[in-house]
Each structure stands twice: as structure tokens, then as C-alpha cells.
Structure 1
Amino acid sequence: MNGYDITFTFYEASPELIELMTGSPVYFGYDGKPIGFDSCSIACKAGFAMEVWTEVLGEDVCEDEAAEGAWVYFVMPWVSNGIIGDLELAGEAVNLELTGSTRAGGKWGLGPYDIQAQDAAGTAGPMLAPLDSSCHRRTFITSIEPPEPSSTYIPVDGEFCMAS
């Protein structure tokens, strides 16, 4: 298996997100705040990780009575071959579509967030088992609410190999 093809549509895309997905540099304003990005050559070896949470809907989404909701958590530790489609300019937003494919070898480990219950009390912590380097993605249901969206860069422990 070579990987999974993916397609995501972003309804909000910060310059930092574009930089992470493409390697294209952020363009800054006079005050040092990101205001745009340059579209430049993209190195073939570039890649990024993508985490996605989606809320599980329904009355009985959790067997855990202490939980205040449930989310499906997806992680793709190495996305490459990314192609950003045409930018859609609308009256209130700029939308873009990303297509790409997953690769094995992302060395995600336990990841940077507390996303899984560690005990019966629902204590938030990292994944209970690391994602194996031969895996392309992991999906599971969690009662831990996702972190607040942020454009802050979060490093992942370990070295990344550039070939799978």
C-alpha cells in the first residue's frame, strides 16, 4: 500500500497553515504579524501532519456518563504530495482545497496533545500507545474535548525521516 488519498476543504486558512502545508514562507506586516504568504517552489520531500476532530452527534454518544461529548479523532502523521487547489474568493472568506496522500514513517509517537482518557475518571492524557512508524493514520472515538484552534507551531518529538 502506498498511502491514502485525502481531500480537505479549508474555510479558514491562516498564513501559518499555508506555510506548514507547502513550505511557502509567511509574509509579515510592519508589526511582525502574519498577513499573507508567498507562493514559491515546493520541495518534493515536504510534508506535514494533520489532526482532525469531528463531533459525534446523537443522544447516547458516550458510554462514559462523566463525559460531556464525544469526538472522532483522526491523525495522519505524514501528508505529502499536497496540491492546493484554486483559491475561492467569496464575500466573507477565502476557501481553499488541499489534496494529497499519506505516507508511513511520520514518527508521530503519542502526539502533542492530551486527547484520550487515561482512567475511568476521564483524566485527559496522550494516546495510550504510540502510532507505529509503519502506519498512515489512526482513528478513534474520544471523550476528551479537542484543544482550541491555534496557529502556534507545535514541534513533534523525534527526528523525521525523509523517505518511507
Structure 2
Amino acid sequence: MNNNSDDGDDIEYKAANGKVCGFKRGCPTFRGFDLELNIFSVSPELIEILTGNPVYLDYAGNPIGFDTCSIQCNTGFALELWAEVLGEECADGAEGQWLYFLLPWVTNGLLGDLEIGSEAVTLQVTGSTKAGGSWGVGPYDVQPIDAAGTPGPMLTPLGPSCHRRTFITSTPPPLPSCDYQPVVCNSMSV
């Protein structure tokens, strides 16, 4: 994730004799994050979600490949990441902790260069974040919602001008799956 920002324009006021009378630093504008994802375990469904390009189906309607078409700027996806916190857990009784990242709206997914050889094939996808995405508190259990450690959605909604949320959680990541998974909207995600 790389910051994408504009530094803004500095304003300098000079007197007729050339002396600086006033100076105002330009206000930077945060545009979002430019993303680079390296994918080692690829499925056609994942490529469709990341790029908005269609899957290619076999005779039985199962996804077996994907088409590379135009950049789909009108589609997007959310990206959730868990990174294990190494070392001593901070919370009493914690069996593990993760650093949780949420990027609620990623768009402009584009497959990068592809090199095919005798080594494993990996794909690179680039994209950029947008603010908002209507994520709210989200449809998934990502943090404890009480002292008993009951997993639940985020406790407060993600703001409409936000590009990313990051926090430490003791709720483990979900089990991996290569198939499409339904998104069940949580009544608290408004």
C-alpha cells in the first residue's frame, strides 16, 4: 500500500522590495492508496472479483479460467487482511492476535505482467482505493464485541471519507475458501 497524495501549492507573499511578508504551506490532499497485490494461489473467481473481468466456464458451468479485457473502473471490491502479531499477546487470555486491515473500496484492478517458465506462476494485481464504499461495520465477525470475546462486526462504522481501517484483534481470520462466498449483510452494518 503506497500513499497517493498531492502536496498542495505553497503560497508566498512578497513586498515590493522582495522581502517575504507571509508564507502559507500548501495543504496536502490524500487521494488514497495505490495497491500492489502478489497472488500465489489463484482461482478464476478471485481474478473476477479483483479485476471485474469475466470468468471462463467449462461445459458444466464451473469456472476454469478468466478473460483479460478492459480495466473495469466502475466495479470494485473490499479487501480484508489479517497479519499475525508475533510476540506476547497483550490481552489477558488471548490465544492469538492479528493486525486487521480493511480497505473497503478498491477499484481499477489490473493484472500485471505475467512470466511463464519452469517456476511457479504468480500474478500481480494493481489497484487503488476510494473513500467510502458503504462498508459500515461490515458483514463479518472481525473483533470481540464483549468481555467474553464473542466475535462480531466492527463496533463503529467506517466513515465515508476513509480509505482504510487498521486495528489489533483477537478474532482469528476466517478459514480460506476458493469458491464464491455469499456476503450476509449484518443488521448493524447500516
- TM-score (norm: length of structure 1): 0.85
Q: Deviations over 1:3-42 (max 9, x none)?
A: 1122121111211111111111111122322111111123
Unaligned runs of 5+ in 1: 158-164
Residue of structure 2 in register with 1:81 after alignment: 108
SS class of match (1:18)? helix
Aligned partners of 1:112 and 1:154 also within 8 Å: no
Which of 48, 59, 62 is equivalent to 1:30? 59
Of residues 40-49 and 115-124 in structure 1, the stretch that sits farther from structure 2 once superposed is 40-49
Q: Deviations over 1:44-92 (max 9, x none)?
A: 222211111111111x123231x21111111101112322212243557
Which residue does 1:101 correspond to in 2? 128
Identity of aligned residues (%): 61
Q: What SS class does the counterpart of residue 126 from structure 2 fall into?
A: strand
Shift of residue 154 of structure 1? 3.4
Contact 1:75/1:139 (CA < 8 Å) preserved in 2?
yes
Determine the C-alpha separation between the residues in 2 that align with 1:32 and 1:93. Answer: 27
- Please list every run of at least 4 consecutive aligned residues from structure 1 whose deviation after the TM superposition is greater than 3 angstroms: 88-93, 153-157
**In structure 1, how many angstroms separate the alpha carbons of the residues matched to 2:80 and 2:182?**
12
Residues in 2 aligned to 1:42 and 1:81: alpha-carbon distance in whole angstroms: 6
CA distance in 1, matches of 2:70, 2:128: 19
Which is greater in Rg?
2
Higher relative contact order (CA 8 A, sep 6+): 1
Report how many residues are paired: 156
- Does 1:16 pair with 2:45? yes
Superimposed CA distance per residue, residues 120-145 of structure 1 (whole angstroms, 9 cap, x where no aligned partner): 11111111111112110101110011
SS in 2 for 1:20: helix
Q: Distance in 1 between matches of 2:150 and 2:117?
A: 42
Contact 2:71-2:110 at 8 Å conserved across structures = no
Counterpart position of 1:6? 35
Deviation at 1:93, TM superposition (A): 3.9
